[in-house]
């Protein structure tokens, strides 16, 4: 299995956000996410969503339908969460959840699109070094798991599309349950490969 990770931003040209240090961007992402969670007013969350969307688009460039199509599964997930909140807590709380999730999503996409995975892994490892010296965590393993998880997201999207196309070619109905069973089997297999990769590439002696 090829676990090669992308070594650069999604855009060919370095963006204004791409020139920022990876550690600073991750720190700002954590602070921004915490702020969004604390905000309860829909108007402010709508404004935050517009701002984060603008930042994301400024990093990724012109809108491409293929890129949007690959994020449709995120939209389906958010829609399911919002529908759940509407049922149990009403429309006002659902709007808060909706725009909070959208703002968080666009902020995260902006960081991922403008930062090489290797740079983010190094930033995570440096951040965890103090805890590593105390023996609480293994910074190398955590950073490797972080990087592989980012790489796994587009792989799972491609995997879902492959399963759907294969079943359509065989004339099998593309019902959700028909797709979820093979998807679950492949995901569990990749999870085992991910765990083996982490154990193979991160040695406990990396903590120093």
pLDDT digits (tens, 9 = 90+) for 94-141: 999 999 999 998 998 889 888 888 888 888 889 888 888 888 888 888
Beta carbons of 67 and 60 less than 8 angstroms apart = yes
Pairwise pLDDT comparison (88 vs 168), residue with the higher score: 88
Beta carbons of 10 and 56 less than 8 angstroms apart = no
pTM beyond 0.75, yes or no: no
Pairwise pLDDT comparison (49 vs 67), residue with the higher score: 49
Measured distance CA(86)–CA(201) in Å, rounded = 45
Domain layout of the chain by residue ranges: 21-115, 116-208
Interval 7-19: pLDDT, tens: 445 445 667 888 8
Q: Which pLDDT does position 98 carry in this prediction?
A: 92
Q: Give the mean model confidence (pLDDT) for residues 174-178.
A: 61
Q: Give the mean model confidence (pLDDT) for residues 175-192.
A: 72
* Cβ within 8 Å of residue 70, ≥6 positions away: 154, 157
- Residue 1 pLDDT exceeds 50: no
């Amino acid at each position: 299995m090829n676990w090669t990770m992308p070594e650069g931003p999604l855009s060919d040209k370095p963006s204004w956000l791409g020139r920022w240090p990876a550690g600073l961007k991750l720190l700002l992402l954590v602070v921004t996410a915490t702020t969004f969670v604390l905000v309860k007013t829909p108007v402010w969350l709508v404004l935050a969503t517009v701002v984060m969307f603008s930042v994301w688009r400024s990093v990724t460039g012109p809108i491409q339908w293929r890129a949007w199509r690959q994020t449709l599964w995120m939209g389906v997930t958010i829609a399911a969460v919002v529908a759940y909140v509407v049922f149990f807590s009403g429309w006002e709380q659902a709007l808060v959840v909706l725009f909070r999730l959208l703002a968080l999503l666009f902020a995260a996409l902006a960081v991922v699109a403008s930062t090489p995975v290797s740079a983010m892994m190094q930033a995570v490892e440096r951040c965890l070094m103090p805890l590593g010296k105390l023996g609480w965590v293994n910074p190398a393993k955590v950073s490797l798991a972080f990087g592989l998880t980012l790489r796994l997201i587009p792989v799972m999207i491609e995997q879902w599309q492959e399963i759907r196309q294969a079943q359509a070619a065989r004339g099998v109905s593309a019902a959700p349950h028909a797709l979820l069973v093979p998807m679950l089997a492949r995901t569990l297999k990749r999870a085992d490969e991910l765990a083996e990769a982490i154990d193979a590439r991160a040695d406990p002696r990396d903590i120093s």
